[in-house]
Amino acid sequence: MAGELKHPPAGDESAALARFVARTQWDGVPRNVQHEAKRALVNFFATALAGCNDPALRAASRVFAQFRAGSACHLIGRAETTDALHAASLNAMSGNVFDYDDTHLPTIIHPTAPVAPALLALAQTQRLSGRDLLLAFVLGVEIECRLGNAISPGHYQRGWHITSTCGVFGAAAAIARAMQLDETRTLWALGNASAQSCGLVENLGTMAKSIGVGNAASNGLLSALLAAQGFEGPRMPVEGPRGFLRVTGEAPDFASLTEGLGERWELMNNTYKPYPCGVVLNPVIEACLALHRASPVALDEVERIELIGHPLLRERTDRAAPHSGREAQVSAQHAVAVSLERGKAGLDEFSDACVAEPHWRAFADRLVFIDDAKYGIESATVTLRLRDGRALSHHVEAARGSLDAPLRDEDLEHKLIELAAWGGSGCATAPLIGALWSLDGREDAGTLMPLAAGTA
């Protein structure tokens, strides 16, 4: 199958992707990819349990409750139940709200947040085995990340929030596979997703970012449900003259959509964060923590800080005066100051309360970005120039959590345990962790959600 999909005729990429989704079987997915799917889900539940009681989630839940169309679906870390579309949206928001979720390189898509919640909602409305959920998840991630490859980096630089815009395609593809839609209806699902692809970078650092991620999950679910009922979409939603790639990309790489399809798996380019912030800050924080351990200095001793890194570091994190924990998650100025002074970089260090401390802002104008395109996004050099004339420097070539220094399975388990406690979810983590690692042997994937809600 992989051979016939590798080089589709020009203008046939959407159909090739739909065919791949409809035909791929679990046994055709390599064992390491199967395991990576479980790792992604462990990480997702960790981040969603941390975010389940965030003010954005509480506000959205109150609004959504006015339009609830049923109560079949649980919410991660929360007592209430709701309908499938709202559950998909709220659980996606919860998983992404702290920017602590997974990251696909090189697109910087957070692939699990849009895809997994849609599948978890479906699994509570129709019986779905753990193996079928995992297969659908792998395929959904493959589609969204290949779309991201085709339009990066220009898509994000133009202001599109790539997790939201590509994530809706991934969710639609995943649900189409889980429902065992044929190739035609899977293509329609992608077309219906193309009609609902949206999300702006301008929203980062605000609650509005969560709307785009939540919509990607719920609209992807809706796209496939409509297709299953014969709701037709365009023939070329991805590559058409006015399709997704040409409209939202600058110079789309159409070949990357299908080259090596079924042979090279994008899930193996997924990474998991050790810190709750934009992934480009990981090496910066790691360098600052190393400097703190080696030679702790007070912030008022520092005359200037130089950050050398990929240009994306400056583009995404040059925020001198964040006003909230959300903005701090994408602020190098805050991340550097708090890491150097506290020697920690957890959720408490990126909270509203921490950001409100005035001395972080007083420090911000001493930070200078130095762009170097030779750096990968997982590397950075931090140099402290002190008032007494000393210079302290630390280089990180591959930050912890990157592809070259991945978090271990036990690291992900610890992250889930720690974040569940931090979020006040009441979830019993040991049964949930056990269920996730054994998911491919479970007959009913829907049983995950009562465990995650803390009601099982």
- Average pLDDT, consecutive stretches of 10 residues, N- to C-terminus, the chain (456 residues): 46 94 98 98 98 95 96 96 98 94 93 98 98 98 98 93 98 98 98 97 90 98 98 96 95 95 97 93 97 93 96 92 90 96 95 90 91 95 97 97 96 97 92 98 97 90
Distance CA 97, CA 47 (A): 8
Q: What is the pLDDT of residue 39?
A: 98
Q: Is domain 279-396 annotated with CATH 3.10.20.600?
A: no
List C-alpha distances in Å: 49 to 350, 393, 418. 17, 36, 10
Give the closest residue to 120 by CA, choosing from 451, 453, 437, 445: 445
**Contact indicator for 449, 429 with CB cutoff of 8 Å:** no
Distance CA 214, CA 113 (A): 8
Residue 302 main-chain phi, psi, to 5 deg: -95, 125
List C-alpha distances in Å: 30 to 36, 265, 310. 10, 9, 33
- In sequence order, what are the residues at sequence separation of 6 or more whose Cβ sits closer than 8 angstroms to the Cβ of residue 414? none
The CATH code for residues 2-272+407-453 is 1.10.4100.10
3-state SS string for the chain: CHHHHHCCCCCCHHHHHHHHHHHCCHHHCCHHHHHHHHHHHHHHHHHHHHHCCCHHHHHHHHHHHCCCCCCCEECCCCCCEECHHHHHHHHHHHHHCCCCCCEECCCCECCHHHHHHHHHHHCCCCCCCHHHHHHHHHHHHHHHHHHHHHHCCHHHHCCECHHHHHHHHHHHHHHHHHCCCCHHHHHHHHHHHHCCCCCEHHHCCCCHHHHHHHHHHHHHHHHHHHHHCCCCCCCCCCCCCCCHHHHHCCCCCHHHHCCCCCCCCHHHHEECCCCCCCHHHHHHHHHHHHHHHHCCCCHHHEEEEEEEECHHHHHHHCCCCCCCHHHHCCCHHHHHHHHHHHCCCCHHHHCHHHHCCCHHHHHHCCEEEEECCCCCCCCEEEEEEECCCCEEEEEECCCCCCCCCCCCHHHHHHHHHHHHHHCCCCCCHHHHHHHHHCHHHCCCHHHHHHHHHCCC
Cis bond before residue 30 (omega within 30° of 0):
no
Q: What is the pLDDT of residue 170?
A: 98
Q: What is the pLDDT of residue 133?
A: 98
Instruction: Count Cβ atoms below 10 Å from residue 154 Cβ, excluding itself.
Output: 13
pTM of the full structure = 0.93
Going from N- to C-terminal start, the domains of the chain cover 2-272+407-453, 279-396
Q: What is the pLDDT of residue 362?
A: 82
